Amino acid sequence: MRMDFRTNGCDERGIYYGETERILVFLNSHESLDDIHKTITHEVIHYCLDHHEMIDPIDEDQEERLIFQMAWAIESLI
């Protein structure tokens, strides 16, 4: 996995490219360092899911929902 940071060029916060195993994080789309950290975590989870051998593969929408649920799991446990 390779991660690059950009200061402009996209309205996205971050993108994971599975074919090249590269993550791009667009700094101009963030409000704080904590916000950047959350995007990095989100994109790294995409990488991990891409390399996990699942019995039933999931589509992009299912993957996004799974990552969202993981990000908020601690809140639902409190």
C-alpha span between 25 and 27 (Å, rounded): 6
Task: Give this prediction's pTM.
Answer: 0.83
Total number of domains constituting the chain: 1
What confidence tens digit (pLDDT) does each residue in 12-63 have?
A: 999 999 999 999 999 999 999 999 999 999 999 999 988 887 778 888 999 9
Give the domain extent around 54: 2-77
What confidence tens digit (pLDDT) does each residue in 30-44 have?
A: 999 999 999 999 999
Q: What is the dihedral of CA 45, 46, 51, 55, to 10 degrees?
A: 100
